[in-house]
Structure 1
Amino acid sequence: MTNWMRRTLIPTLCATAVAAAMTATPPVALAAGAGSTPVPHLDWQPCALPPGTTGPAGQECAILPVPLDHLRPGGRTVPVAVTRLRSDRPENRRGTLVVIPGGPGSSGVQRLAQKGAVLQEELKGAYDLVSLDPRGVGGSVKARCGIPAADRRLVTLRSWPTPGGGTTESAERSRRTAGSCAANGGAVLRSFTTRNEARDIDLFRQALGEREVSVWGTSYGAYVAAVYDRTHPGSVDRVVLDSTGDPDPSRVARGWLENMSRGATDRFADFAAWSADPAREAEGLRLAARAEDVEPLFLALAGELDGAPRDSGTPGVPLTGNGLRQALQNALYSDRSFPGMARLILEAGDPQALPSLPPDLAQVIQDEDASLMVSTICNDVRWPAPGSGYARRVAADRARYPLTAGMPVNVTPCAFWKDAPAEEPARITDEGPSDILMVQSLRDPATPYAGALKMRTALGDRARMVTVGQGGHGMYLGNGNECGDRAVTRFLTTGHRPARDTHCAN
């Protein structure tokens, strides 16, 4: 989670590619339904995915018209892209599972294309699988803030302090971004909220003709799933919360970002052990003889790049200290990224090498994607105002968590946001049926275990938590282990959960 923030650039670029290539669908008629909100009719068509992308056979796409403002259901509607993959074993089907993507900024159409086949096999046909592109993503309604290109690189969209911990540059950039969003985003941008995503999911449920659905949300999607369960309790069957943040309604998004300091520190130990392993010698990727030497090496190199950025293989985009730090944050999500990160460190430390930047550092984020990434977290909750101690918090966080250099507590565009949140964030409580399973890494760089424990406490006896010894972000059928996967699959297919919180060692 995202938290905000799960490797934001790559999922959003994938989502945009899917949107551009989706099969066009004719206008969708609204059928009269119970209550004041019309229930849409969905015109399902085969999905047309980007060249080189292969989704599971049978994946279909449609457009769901949703109210721009759900509190005024008779007004303007906007399009939300939806997708489904029907059970391949109808005799085993027990319901519909909504796969909720993370971010904010990830595409559900793309996620089902990536995960649909393995989910079908794992769940043995127990569910029709469905997902959606949240507002602002992929084939759904978009908004543009008009953020300058220089402010739409990941190292500038994220509020990295300047070398030495300065916050003035970040504050000015954040002010510009908030001003652009206020001037250009309009009502569509203001509608990008977690509560509206939950409402869109429920209208999707109604359009599918389902009395209730099960949900699996990952990262920010886990928070969306918890909010959906809280605000539409009669519509939910089984709930899986995968890699979860602190649900404190006064600190959603802001608290998730702040927790990344702790998360990066927890997770870095895995990268250090991997990169000091003698097995890396033959691969040319060993960084140090001892794991405890890797962090000082990294910090020293980042400090050198602060003072003297290196030319990179991307013309006009040097590798800076903050660029190296941002690359590390992305790499900590999965062990699969460790080789690329070790190679970048070695290239950055070699005066004869030309460092090859990972795509998420080399590219400029599209305006509509950057606008979505900023607006959702700012629309959900009020952030501390400028001048409320950001410089002091950055200094303290840099000293305690040098790997993140104060970025997670630095000023963001939300501090300058013009519009107060239209609604209070949902308060997650222990009220309701005991129908929730959490799965969580003990060393998650984005939604650390300490934050997930607060979600677990808030849910009380409604939930059980399965912790996983594998580090990383996004556990089920991703970075986790067989024991954790079995626990989630068993819950979704049979309803059985562990009698108490349990741990799956590696």
Structure 2
Amino acid sequence: MQKSLPSALAVALVAALSLTGCSSADADEGNLEWGKCPKDVAAPGIDCTTLKVPLDYKKSDGKTIEIAVSRLASKNPDKRHGVLLTNSGGPGGQTLTMPATLKKLGVPQSVLDTYDVIGIDPRGVGHSTPVTCGLEATEHPSNIPTYARTETDVTAEAKRVQAVAEKCAKSKTAGILPYITTANTARDMDRVREALGESKISYYGISYGTYLGSVYTTMFPKRSDRVFLDSVTGPGGWNEAFVRKFGEGFQNRFPDFAVFAAAQNEKYGLGDTPEAVEEKYFELAKKLDAKPSPEGYTGQAFRQVTFSSFYYDAELPNLAEIWKALDTGKPVPKPSGGAEGDAAAGSSGIPSDNYLASQLHVICNDSDWPEDIAAYARNVKEDRKRFPMFGAAGADITPCAFWPSEPVEAPVKITDNGPSNVLMLQNLRDNATPLSGAREMRAALGDRARMVTADQGGHLAYKYLDNKCANDIVTEFLLTGDRPSKDTACGKN
């Protein structure tokens, strides 16, 4: 039976949160009362509030939930163009902190002066009304499917993830489970727009947030101003087709690590050529499949930590050290991070499994996932051949196959109906949202969009990586709304 990540590895992916109260307002009041932020959000210049929105938009007078909102107000009202709503991805990522994060990243002050930058914890997430599945960290420690070596592994994983889905169905927040969807989050965003007193909103979303932004501007095209999407999913969001792209993204990104490790072979001993480093990957995976390391690294954990470390170039040295330790039998350093993980909230009032629970709610509710275990076994067999390094993970079965709720509505179809006001930015070698998915989104949006590609690897681009060409194009768009007349390729910095 395929094992979960060792508990030490799961704990290494969590972060502590704390919670205090926010001021509140109803969405239909047309205004918000700003006050102090929760302790984990509090930062100079950041205000917070909450507002009530319908749980089910088909029953607008029925049960309501709370949405938490933050604001970094423009310090130059004469330059203010409007509001810039943001989303930090996930799904499940808390976004109340994003306005302060953008400032820390070095987003130009001219951009911050152009907008009131708005963060929203999406429904089900963080300081908004949170959901839980009552999961312990070791029950479902990662948002990436496990690597299945055989059909037997798929069957064993099916039993594990079915238990996860059953816990979600029986959790204390099961009553709101069916309504945690991307379409409803987009409707919440429009309630925030209304409460802010704005006729239109601009938008900046990363990773899954690119899908949310695409859904919003499809549902509310006339209420969308400047829409910026960084590291773009496909037009179906996180559905079965998207998750299978993780194998492709791993293969695209691996050469960056192989070149890095080979150039420092004297330090790491992983191979003096990129080809030798690739051989070392398969050697270590096979070795750990047969016998886990003393720290509990299985072949699955090794593959997953490698994928997770591909998110940012800054994590490649630590990844090389992990490989070296596993190769030589030395103590293994902790993973440095990578993919966003579960948030351990302690006594804050936010369930400790909220990140992964809210993510499951969104991705399982957004799409009608296959329920046939044999279908996943066939996909694993196919993707193991197509993308031998990680394809058998992306294609493996997840709790969505056993989800207790059918989608409450059909997925939003992304189209080219609406103003030409979308700018997409995409790294060529993104392991998490591969280029092929971004191209599919570009095709779906048609003339509404322009896409800028950057010759670099990893996840996220604007101000996360120092590519002057890409950064300048995005900054100009956020300041003026001007975009390149055609899709543009930025080279290496």
Structure 2 counterparts to residues 421-432 of structure 1, below 5 A: 421-432=407-418
Residue type of the alignment partner of 1:134? P
Query: Is residue 126 from structure 1 mapped to residue 123 from structure 2 by the alignment?
Result: no
Structure 2 counterparts to residues 175-324 of structure 1, below 5 A: 175-184=162-171, 185-248=173-236, 252-278=238-264, 281=266, 284-285=267-268, 287-312=270-295, 318-324=296-302
Provide the C-alpha distance between the structure 1 equivalents of 2:441 and 2:22, rounded to a whole number of angstroms: 40
Query: For each residue in 1:140-160, what CA deviation from the matched residue of structure 2 results, as whole angstroms up to 9, or x when unmatched?
Result: 111222335532222xx6431
- TM-superposed CA distance for 1:359, in Å, is 6.5
1:491 to 1:405, Cα distance in 2 relative to 1, 3 A: closer
Is the Cα contact below 8 Å between 1:92 and 1:124 reproduced in 2? Answer: no
Is the Cα contact below 8 Å between 1:285 and 1:339 reproduced in 2? Answer: no
Query: For each residue in 1:95-115, what CA deviation from the matched residue of structure 2 results, as whole angstroms up to 9, or x when unmatched?
Result: 111111200111111222322
Structure 2 counterparts to residues 90-489 of structure 1, below 5 A: 90-117=77-104, 118-121=106-109, 123=111, 125-154=113-142, 158-164=144-150, 166-184=153-171, 185-248=173-236, 252-278=238-264, 281=266, 284-285=267-268, 287-312=270-295, 318-351=296-329, 353-358=330-335, 366-479=352-465, 481-489=467-475
Provide the C-alpha distance between the structure 1 equivalents of 2:279 and 2:313, rounded to a whole number of angstroms: 21
Query: For each residue in 1:321-363, what CA deviation from the matched residue of structure 2 results, as whole angstroms up to 9, or x when unmatched?
Result: 1111111111111101101111111111112x12123276999
Select the residue among 72, 81, 95 that pairs with 2:68: 81
- TM-superposed CA distance for 1:403, in Å, is 1.7
Helix, strand or coil at the partner of 1:151: coil
Equivalent residue for 2:57?
A: 70
TM-score by length of 1: 0.87
Residue type of the alignment partner of 2:71? R
Residue segments in structure 2 that go unaligned for 5+ positions in a row: 1-9, 345-351
Helix, strand or coil at the partner of 1:469: strand
1:10 to 1:42, Cα distance in 2 relative to 1, 3 A: farther
Equivalent residue for 1:33?
A: none
Provide the C-alpha distance between the structure 2 equivalents of 1:199 and 1:319, rounded to a whole number of angstroms: 43
1:116 to 1:46, Cα distance in 2 relative to 1, 3 A: farther
Helix, strand or coil at the partner of 1:105: coil
Select the residue among 1, 23, 48 that pairs with 1:61: 48
Residue segments in structure 1 that go unaligned for 5+ positions in a row: 1-8, 31-36, 313-317
Equivalent residue for 2:21?
A: 24
- TM-superposed CA distance for 1:272, in Å, is 0.8
Provide the C-alpha distance between the structure 1 equivalents of 2:461 and 2:110, rounded to a whole number of angstroms: 14
Query: For each residue in 1:2-36, what CA deviation from the matched residue of structure 2 results, as whole angstroms up to 9, or x when unmatched?
Result: xxxxxxx899955x61xx23x4135x343xxxxxx
Helix, strand or coil at the partner of 1:466: strand
1:437 to 1:232, Cα distance in 2 relative to 1, 3 A: same
Provide the C-alpha distance between the structure 2 equivalents of 1:303 and 1:346, rounded to a whole number of angstroms: 15
Equivalent residue for 1:45?
A: 35
1:478 to 1:29, Cα distance in 2 relative to 1, 3 A: closer
Helix, strand or coil at the partner of 1:319: coil
Residue type of the alignment partner of 1:391? A
1:392 to 1:377, Cα distance in 2 relative to 1, 3 A: same
Is the Cα contact below 8 Å between 1:178 and 1:416 reproduced in 2? Answer: yes
Query: For each residue in 1:102-149, what CA deviation from the matched residue of structure 2 results, as whole angstroms up to 9, or x when unmatched?
Result: 001111112223223423525151111111111222211112223355
Provide the C-alpha distance between the structure 2 equivalents of 1:82 and 1:468, rounded to a whole number of angstroms: 32
- TM-superposed CA distance for 1:89, in Å, is 2.3
Query: For each residue in 1:414-440, what CA deviation from the matched residue of structure 2 results, as whole angstroms up to 9, or x when unmatched?
Result: 111222100111111111111111111
Equivalent residue for 1:315?
A: none
1:41 to 1:96, Cα distance in 2 relative to 1, 3 A: closer
